[in-house]
Each structure stands twice: as C-alpha cells, then as structure tokens.
Amino acid sequence: MQIHMPTHLQIHHHRLPQARWLPSPNCDARPDPADISLLVIHGISLPPGEFGGPYIDALFCNQLDAAAHPYFAGIAHLRVSAHLVIGRDGALTQYVPFDCRAWHAGASSFMGRANCNDYSIGIELEGTDELPYTDAQYTQLSAVTRALLRAYPAITPARIAGHCDIAPGRKTDPGPAFDWPRLRAALD
Ligand SMILES: [Zn+2]
C-alpha cells in the first residue's frame, strides 16, 4: 500500500484531515481547552513486539478481546487512548481531537507540573523500546510535529518529551530505540 506522506500537514478543527479517523470513547474535556503545551511521544505494540494487527485500534476503542492473546488479559480492561498512532508504514490514525484530553500518560509530571494528559498531545509510534523505528515513522512524525508546533505554539521543541521522561520508573517508551536527535533535527 502506498502511504500518502506529505511533508506539510495542516490541522483543521483540531484534526489532521490526512489521518484515518477512528474516534475513541476514552477521552474527555481538558480542564483548560486553550492550554495545549506539551507533546508526548510513546511506543506501543500489541502483542508486544508484533506489528500490523488490529489490536491497538481495538484497545483504544474498548474492543480488545482479552482471550485473543495471553498478554491482552492484563490490559483489555484499561480505558486508554492517544491522539494519534503512527504505524510502521507511516500510516496515521487519529482517535481524539487535539482540543480534547486523551488518556495516554497516566500518572505523570513535566517540569514539576503533574497530570500531563490535561495539557498534552500524545502520539504513539508502533514499535518497541529496542527495535529501531522506521524511516516512514520519522518522516510522518516530523511532518505531524511541525504541524502541531504551528497550530499550538505553546508546544515548543523544548516541550516534547517521551513517556519515559514524564513517568520515570513506571514507563520506558519510546525507549532507547527512539532517535531524539533525528526528530529534533527535522524540526529545525
Ligand atoms: Zn506510553
């Protein structure tokens, strides 16, 4: 499948029109809808280390079959989401509009301020902590991040963090595999 991967994305009404839209019920209103000031990068794969299945969609839509894999029994009850997922091939899916609060970070803190879900946008890269993310993912993530920085100027390059950074000791994603200098260089 050919993935349309423009280098210039535009956000309209808190959505990326280029993304597949699959609304998640796991979201609510931000305490201050005008405060969108942090971007959190995650890594996820379901089951861990396997790519391309329907399970991330299912988890974010509360439709994950707990019996489909032993790992799923421990997570099928979770009520979680992210604003965006970027698949291994660079394909974009949006689950929550950016002005709403997605449930991606959990207990978290950035520069002394807790509850990062309140004021952040969460992007999940399909992957693991150890396996390199794909070129297609860096291309798409760079384009998306540039669009977010334009649309939400309170998000600056210094206010982009990993889940591991805002929930240290509890979360490790996107892991040592994620090439932070590569992302930062793409934002210059
Ligand atoms: Zn995460």
Domain containing residue 80: CATH number? 3.40.80.10
Q: What is the pLDDT of residue 8?
A: 82
Task: Assess if residue 5 is contained within a domain.
Answer: no
Instruction: Please tell me the distance from the alpha carbon of residue 72 to that of residue 62, in angstroms, as a whole number.
Output: 12
Asked whether residue 29 is domain-assigned, the answer is yes
Residue ranges making up the domain that contains 29: 20-186
Query: What is the 173 CA–ligand 1 centroid distance (Å)?
Result: 5
Which residues are CB-neighbours of 22 under 8 A, at least 6 positions away?
A: 57, 60, 61, 93, 94, 95
For residue 167, give Cα distances in angstroms to 105, 161, 163: 8, 10, 6
Domain count, the chain: 1
Q: Is 130 a catalytic residue?
A: no
Residue 45 maps to a domain: yes
Exposed, middle or buried, 10 (CB in 10 Å: 0-12/13-18/19+)?
A: exposed
**Cα→Cα distances 82→1, 30, 91, 185, Å:** 24, 14, 15, 24
Q: Is residue 15 part of a domain?
A: no
Residues lining ion ligand 1 (Cβ < 5 A) are 42, 163, 173
**What is the structure's pLDDT at 3?**
60
Q: How far is the CA of 39 from the centre of ligand 1 (A)?
A: 12
Question: In this structure, what are the phi and psi dihedrals at residue 127, rounded to the nearest 5 degrees?
Answer: 170, -170
Give me the pLDDT at residue 2, please.
Answer: 54
- Alpha carbons 34 and 30: distance in angstroms, whole number: 8
Would you say residue 14 lies in a domain? no
Per-residue pLDDT tens listing for the chain (188 residues): 556 566 689 999 999 999 999 999 999 999 999 999 999 999 999 999 999 999 999 999 999 999 999 999 999 999 999 999 999 999 999 999 999 999 999 999 999 999 999 999 999 999 999 999 999 999 999 999 999 999 999 999 999 999 999 999 999 999 999 999 999 999 98
- pTM here is 0.96
Cα(86) to centroid of ligand 1, in Å? Answer: 13
The Cα 45–Cα 126 span in angstroms is 5
